[in-house]
Amino acid sequence: MVKIEEMTFEDFEKIKAILTTEFDEFWTPSILKSELESKLSKYVVAKQDGNILGFAGVIMLPDDVEITNIVTKKTERKKGIGKLLLDKLIQIAFELEKDISLEVNEKNIPAINLYKNAGFKEVGIRKKYYNGSDNAIIMTKNFTI
Ligand SMILES: CC(C)(COP(=O)(O)OP(=O)(O)OC[C@H]1O[C@@H](n2cnc3c(N)ncnc32)[C@H](O)[C@@H]1OP(=O)(O)O)[C@@H](O)C(=O)NCCC(=O)NCCS
């Protein structure tokens, strides 16, 4: 059974060893470590028999909660892990009574579908946000309106 737990430094060490090979390479271990050390951030892992299958995190800002990362191990995708991680992030925002939002590359169809299925709505666009070419879609799930 897959369990969602708060990320520990022990989990971080496990992720660090496989981050660039078994996950996507858009984050370095040092960025993830500083996120984990920040009081404003909260990170969770999806674990099965001690193995980390995915992780995700948010930054808790005064006005809303923003998703900074959500990623499933390449070999474990399309099994519902992304949804479990996202549900946990939504719960964190709900308990803080804040809206939750994120930016996603307009070409990232798996992620956009994941968010839409969970009730996120497109609320804006940041033009040429990624690498000076791809647009970012801003998506939000409101609890406060
Ligand atoms: C986006 C990501 C986290 C989804 O994780 P996952 O564990 O495969 O997702 P799930 O199996 O829980 O799927 C949940 C929903 O996401 C959508 N989805 C996931 N993979 C998809 C794909 N390849 N194509 C289309 N939709 C997809 C579907 O709506 C799916 O629901 P369904 O199975 O009922 O159709 C994963 O693809 C990933 O790690 N991508 C790289 C990192 C990334 O881009 N993160 C987002 C940054 S904004």
- Residue 79 Cβ < 6 Å to ligand 1: yes
For residue 88, the Cα-to-chain-centroid distance in whole angstroms is: 10
- Complete domains list, the chain, with CATH: 3-141 (3.40.630.30)
- Residue 111 Cβ < 6 Å to ligand 1: yes
The whole-number pLDDT of residue 116 equals 98
Could you give the count of Cα atoms lying within 13 Å of 65 in the half-sphere of its Cβ? Answer: 25
- Residue 86 Cβ < 6 Å to ligand 1: no
pLDDT tens figures, 8-19? 999 999 999 999
Ligand 1: nearest atom to the Cα of 77: 8
Are the C-beta atoms of 27 and 12 separated by less than 8 Å?
A: no
The whole-number pLDDT of residue 91 equals 97
Q: Give the tokens for residue 19.
A: 């981050």
The whole-number pLDDT of residue 145 equals 59
Residues of the chain with pLDDT under 70: 144-145
Rounded to whole angstroms, how far apart are CA atoms 100 and 128? Answer: 23
- Residue 104 Cβ < 6 Å to ligand 1: yes
